[in-house]
Structure 1
């Protein structure tokens, strides 16, 4: 009798498993081009990050500050560090992605030299100090003067909501 109950239990579990698998919705993955825009939720996404960074840096490099700096410094391009960007919006925004997009946009313009952030410089210094003890003389990176920043770009991201009746529009202020 006990064997029959155990066998019936396992048969029921197997039947239930087959039923669940048969009724489950298959996952479908569609690959898209990296530059293709996809807006699913209406929240801040990687496309917003890239487009805003490109426009901000294009606007910043069109201003006369870089030209004036180069005129005053024998044609030397200004060194810029993209510093902290704070998320003060009402949603989760990965500010590190936005900072990387701004750095990439600056590099593409060739208007300024980009200086690593403080955290990146600290990691690089640690690696160079470590190499002094553990790397061969031919391959170790020398300790030397680093490029200092002439300018620092800081910012914050805010959300502004505009509601009228049953409609709502979300604006991002960067």
Structure 2
């Protein structure tokens, strides 16, 4: 057997011994994440894995807050003073002031979805989207057919901006066997012209975890 063949044989033998030593776990293609049983569930079903922020908290928050927002007088007050036109809303930043990971982009997109689907207000694109759209419109000035070119400086201006935050208070028992996790989600709707706050809403979520 040549020297190269001997080397290959030695390496393969070593790998085999290593696999048997760790019970084959290290050689499983799934590794530490293998052999999971997966079950699809209704996305609306609450599944509490632990006490931290999760998708059910986001869903509970955006539905309650937007329902409250649209039920308040500011919508009709605007329409009365603007010939029946619907107010235009820009959904701005929702700050994460908790120690948990919170996908605030997901939260703001859900706010936009609820607002648009209500049919009571109009919603404009967010900052990132506007930049991409403006680039596309600018490119179109040089490359699109004249009859399909979109005009510059014709964007719909927002009447209100929606801003918010997610805060938390966490309490732990002396024996560290009980944790009380409290979240508060705050939203504010502000008149862009006057800086007047026309609506403020909050949603509280409280969880108790024991072991």
Q: TM-score of the superposition, structure 2-length normalised?
A: 0.71
Partner SS state of residue 108, structure 1: helix
Deviation at 1:15, TM superposition (A): 4.8
Residue in structure 2 matched with residue 13 of structure 1 by the alignment: 15
The count of corresponding residues between Structure 1 and Structure 2 is 173
Q: What is the rounded CA distance, in whole Å, between the counterparts of 1:28 and 1:169 in structure 2?
A: 30
Residue in structure 1 matched with residue 198 of structure 2 by the alignment: none
Q: 1:142 to 1:8 in 2, by over 3 A?
A: same
Q: What is the rounded CA distance, in whole Å, between the counterparts of 2:87 and 2:131 in structure 1?
A: 22
For the pair 1:143 / 2:152, whether they are aligned, the reply is yes
Residue in structure 2 matched with residue 125 of structure 1 by the alignment: 134
Q: What is the rounded CA distance, in whole Å, between the counterparts of 1:100 and 1:168 in structure 2?
A: 30
| Structure 2 unaligned residues grouped into runs of 5+ | 186-211
Deviation at 1:158, TM superposition (A): 0.5
Q: What is the rounded CA distance, in whole Å, between the counterparts of 1:9 and 1:152 in structure 2?
A: 64
Greater share of residues in helix: 1
| Structure 1 unaligned residues grouped into runs of 5+ | none
- CA deviations 1:61-90 (Å, max 9, x no partner) are 111111111111111111111111111111
Residue in structure 2 matched with residue 81 of structure 1 by the alignment: 90
Residue in structure 2 matched with residue 32 of structure 1 by the alignment: 41
Greater share of residues in strand: 2
Taking only aligned residues, the RMSD between alpha carbons, in angstroms, comes to: 2.6
Q: With CA pairs under 8 Å and 6+ residues apart, which has the higher RCO, 1 or 2? A: 1
Q: What is the rounded CA distance, in whole Å, between the counterparts of 2:11 and 2:130 in structure 1?
A: 62
Residue in structure 2 matched with residue 53 of structure 1 by the alignment: 62
For the pair 1:168 / 2:188, whether they are aligned, the reply is no
Alignment partner of 2:80 out of 45, 53, 71? 71
Residue in structure 2 matched with residue 43 of structure 1 by the alignment: 52
Partner SS state of residue 78, structure 2: helix
Q: TM-score of the superposition, structure 1-length normalised?
A: 0.84
- CA deviations 1:8-52 (Å, max 9, x no partner) are 553342354475147x65233333333333221322122221221
